[in-house]
Amino acid sequence: MFKKLVTVSLIATLLLSGCGNKNAAPKNSKEANGNAKPAATEMAYKDGEYTKDSEPDEHGGYMTATVTVKDGKITDAGLVLYNGDGSEKDENYGKENGEIKNQETYDKAQASLEGAKDYPKQLVEKQDITKVDSVTGATHTHAAYVELVSKMLEEAKAE
C-alpha cells in the first residue's frame, strides 16, 4: 500500500511540474518593472571590420574570425581555420603525410571543416553569437568561435 502511495505521489509531482510555465517572469523582475536589458539582437556595434585570432589548441591549430559591421549591424563574417604549422586547413586536413591513413579520421576532419563554414553565415543571419547553432562534427570549433566572436563583439559595442 505504501509503495503505491509513493508511486502515485511521484507521478503526480512529475506531471504537475511538467505543466508549469517556464516563461513566467517573477512579479518583481526587471522585465515586469520595464527595466529589461535589450536583447543581444538589439545591440548596436561600431562600424568597422574586426579581426581576431584564437589561442592555439592542443595541436597548435587556431582560427581567425572576422566580422564586418555597417550601420550598427553585422553585415559579413568569416572564419579561417589553421593547422599548427600555420597552413590553412583544407582538403588535406585529416591526412597523414598527404595520404588518408584512416578514413574515419579524415571524414571527421573534413566534416568539421564543412560544418564550421556555417558559423559565419549564421552569425550574419541571426545577429547574435549566442544563437549560432553548433553543427555536428564541428562542436569544438563552435565553442572556440563563440568565445572568439563574443570577445570581438564586446570590443565593437557602440557606446
**Chain segment 39-98, per-residue pLDDT in tens:** 444 578 999 999 999 999 999 999 999 999 999 999 999 999 999 999 999 999 999 999
DSSP string for residues in the chain: -HHHHHHHHHHHHHHHHHTS-TTPPPTTSTTTTT-PPPPGGG--B-SEEEEEEPPP-TTS-EEEEEEEEETTEEEEEEEEEE-TTSPBP-TTTT-BTTB-S-HHHHHHHHHHHHHHTHHHHHHHHHS-GGGPPP-TT-HHHHHHHHHHHHHHHHHHB--
CATH class of the region 48-156: alpha beta
Helices 103-116/139-156 angle, 10° precision: 20
Per-residue pLDDT, 39? 44
The reply to whether the predicted model has a pTM over 0.85 is: no
- Above 50 in pLDDT, residue 27? no
Confidence of residue 16 (pLDDT cuts 50, 70, 90): very low
Q: Mean per-residue pLDDT for 106-132?
A: 96
Q: Mean per-residue pLDDT for 133-149?
A: 93
Lowest mean pLDDT among 25-29, 125-129, 149-153: 25-29
